C-alpha cells in the first residue's frame, strides 16, 4: 500500500516522539558505561602504581637495613683488627655461628676448627676483652665456654691495686671474684684483668669492672661482683689466641 508523503512524515514524527526517551536513555547509559570503564581503568592504573611504589619503598628499606648492618659489621671488624695488632703470637679470627645461653651452660659455637689451627684451651677474646676458652674442637667448628659459664674460672688481678683474685661464672650476667685478701684496697669501679696464672688465659686481658665489694661470711676474705666488659648476648666475631702476654 502506497502512503502519501504527508502520512509518512507524520509516522516518522510519531516514531521519533515515542522512541526519543529510549534513545536518550540508551545514549546516557552508553556514556555512563564508557565513563565507568575509564574510571575503573584509572583506578586500576593508580592501584598498580601504588603497588609498584610500595615494592620500591620495601626494597629501599631492605637495602637501607643491609647497609646499616654492613656498617656495623665493618665497625666491629675494624675494632677487632685494631685489637689484633696488640696480640703477639698466633691469632685466628672466627665468627659465632651458634649459642647455648641456658642457665646451666653458657657457650657459643664458632666457624673455625682444627683445620684452621684452633686447639683446645685456646683463649678467646674480642675488642672488649676476655670471652672464654675453647673446650671442644671439630675440623671446621669449635665450642667456646664463656667467662660467665658456671664451670668457668680465671685467675685475675686488680689493675690499680694489683690485688689477686679468682673470677667465677655463675650463669648470671655478673662474675664473682673470690679469694681476695682481707687487706686488699679494692674499690667499686676498679678494673680487673687476667693474671696469666694457670696457663690457659694470657696475662693482661681486660675482664670487667667492679660493681660491688663485700666480705665473705668467715670475714677472712673479700669478694667482688664484676660486670664483664664483653656483652656475651651480642657476640658475633672473636679472636682465638695462644699468646701468653697482653699489655697490662
Name which residue leads in pLDDT, 228 or 7.
228
Q: Does 123 lie in the same domain as 61?
A: no
Which of 31, 56, 85 terminates a domain? The answer is 85
Model pLDDT for residues 39-70, shown as the tens digit of each residue: 656 666 666 777 777 777 777 666 666 666 66
Q: Cβ(88)–Cβ(231) under 8 Å?
A: no
| Residue 122, domain CATH | 2.40.10.340
pTM for the whole thing?
Answer: 0.67
Highest mean pLDDT among 24-28, 137-141, 180-184: 137-141
131 contact partners, CB below 8 Å, separation of at least 6: 124, 125, 144, 146, 147, 230, 232, 235, 238
**Which region holds residue 231: left if phi is over 0, alpha if psi is between -120 and 50, else beta?**
beta
Q: Does 70 lie in the same domain as 20?
A: yes
The 10 Å CB-count burial string (b at 16+, else e) for 91-105 is bbbbebeeeeeeeee
Cα–Cα distance between 94 and 118 in angstroms, integer?
Answer: 10
Q: Does 143 lie in the same domain as 247?
A: yes
Which of 29, 54, 85 terminates a domain? The answer is 85
pLDDT at 30: 57
Domain that holds residue 138: 90-248
Domain count, the chain: 2
What are phi and psi for residue 61, nearest 5 degrees?
-65, -40
**Consecutive H or E run containing 12:** helix 5-84
Model pLDDT for residues 8-22, shown as the tens digit of each residue: 554 445 554 544 554
Q: Cβ(108)–Cβ(152) under 8 Å?
A: no
Q: Does 30 lie in the same domain as 124?
A: no
Amino acid at each position: 500500500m502506497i502512503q502519501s508523503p504527508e502520512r509518512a512524515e507524520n509516522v516518522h514524527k510519531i516514531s521519533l516522539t515515542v522512541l526519543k526517551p529510549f534513545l536518550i536513555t540508551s545514549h546516557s547509559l552508553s556514556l555512563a558505561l564508557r565513563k565507568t570503564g575509564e574510571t575503573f581503568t584509572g583506578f586500576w592504573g593508580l592501584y598498580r602504581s601504588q603497588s609498584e611504589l610500595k615494592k620500591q619503598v620495601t626494597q629501599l628499606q631492605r637495602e637501607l637495613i643491609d647497609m646499616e648492618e654492613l656498617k656495623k659489621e665493618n665497625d666491629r671488624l675494624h675494632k677487632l683488627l685494631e685489637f689484633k695488632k696488640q696480640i703477639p703470637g698466633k691469632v685466628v679470627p672466627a665468627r659465632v655461628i651458634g649459642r647455648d645461653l641456658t642457665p646451666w651452660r653458657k657457650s657459643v659455637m664458632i666457624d673455625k676448627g682444627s683445620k684452621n689451627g684452633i686447639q683446645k684451651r685456646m683463649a678467646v677474646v674480642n675488642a672488649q676483652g676476655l670471652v672464654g676458652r675453647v673446650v671442644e674442637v671439630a675440623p671446621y667448628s669449635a665450642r667456646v665456654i664463656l667467662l660467665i659459664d658456671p664451670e668457668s674460672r680465671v685467675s685475675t688481678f686488680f689493675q690499680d691495686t694489683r690485688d689477686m683474685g679468682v673470677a667465677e661464672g655463675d650463669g648470671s650476667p655478673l662474675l664473682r671474684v673470690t679469694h681476695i685478701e682481707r687487706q686488699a684496697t679494692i674499690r667499686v669501679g676498679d678494673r680487673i684483668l687476667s693474671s696469666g696464672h694457670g696457663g690457659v688465659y694470657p696475662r693482661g686481658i681486660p675482664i670487667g669492672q667492679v660493681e660491688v665489694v663485700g666480705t665473705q661470711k668467715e670475714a677472712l676474705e673479700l669478694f667482688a661482683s664484676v660486670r664483664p666488659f664483653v656483652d656475651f648476648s651480642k657476640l658475633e666475631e672473636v679472636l682465638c689466641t695462644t699468646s701468653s702476654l697482653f699489655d697490662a
